[in-house]
Amino acid sequence: METLIDLALLGLLAVTALAMLKLRNLFAVVMLSGMYSLLSAGFFVDLDAVDVAFTEAAVGAGITTVLMLGTLTLTTSLEKVSTQKSIAPFILVLATGLILVYGTLDMPGFGHPEAPIHHHVAPRYLKDTPTETGIPNVVTAVLASYRGYDTLGETTVIFTAGVGVLTLLGLARRKEDRRP
């Protein structure tokens, strides 16, 4: 049953991606990319990565879609037809994809108990989290405590993104300010 759901979700992902390639109406493309994110979120739930699914649904399907729509209001909503058709980008993408697929062949099976990731620090986190932090959700304990430096770094990345946008675009000034 799970394999069936996986296949259905991955198939829908592929269909959505192909539709995005074909469409010229950027409004529809943005909506489809939101759908793509929501489908990936569903896929992550099926992989038991609920935290990632949460983030994907909120950021990918929610905020990114709104931001892209905001960008569309500043530009046009119709993609320009490109005049030159070149086979080189297609070959490049195909080759990169094949190399990536080839790379996965060496990876251990999904959830395989002998996988290296289950033998490094993960067992210690799973064993000691309840006694050391008293927090039932190991993901939260790892993110905020054991890997606190990384999360601080990630928060700084978000901070930097905000400062970057503020520097480049600036907060919208109220109408009264614009017309003195």
Partner 1 sequence: MTHHPVLRVIAKFMIPLILLFALYVQFHGDFGPGGGFQAGVIFGAGIILYGLIFGLDTAARVIPSWLLQLGVALGVLLYGGVGIASLALGGKYLEYGVLAHDPVHGQHLGIFLVELGVFVTVASVMVTIFVSFAGRER
Residues forming the site for partner 1 (CB under 8 A): 50-51, 54-55, 58-59, 62-63, 66-67, 70-71, 73-74, 131-137, 139-141, 143-145, 148-149, 151-152, 154-156, 158-159, 161-163, 165-166, 169-175
Question: Closer to partner 1 at the Cβ: 27 or 90?
Answer: 27
The structure tokens listed for 22 are 């074909």
Distance of closest approach, residue 91 Cβ to partner 1, in angstroms: 35
CB-nearer residue toward partner 1: 109 or 180: 180
What is the nearest approach in angstroms of partner 1 to the Cβ of residue 2?
19
Q: Note the residue count of the chain.
A: 180
Closer CB to partner 1, 115 or 139, in the complex:
139
Closest to 34 (Cα-Cα) out of 75, 68, 74:
68
β-bridge mates for residue 25, sequence order: 78
Closest C-alpha to 133, from 151, 146, 118, 120: 146
- Classified as helix, coil or strand, 139 is helix
Collapsed DSSP state (helix, strand, coil) of residue 25: strand
CB of 70 to partner 1, least distance (A): 4
The smaller minimum CB distance to partner 1, of residues 47 and 161, is found at 161
CA 170 to chain centre: 26
Nearer to partner 1, 107 or 166 (CB): 166
Q: How far is the CB of 69 from partner 1 (least distance, A)?
A: 9
Q: What is the torsion angle, in degrees rounded to the nearest 10, for the CA atoms of residue 5, residue 10, residue 11 and residue 17?
A: 150
- The answer to whether 65 and 34 have CB atoms below 8 angstroms apart is yes
CB 60 within 8 A of CB 40: yes
In the complex, least distance from residue 66 CB atom to partner 1, rounded to whole angstroms? 6
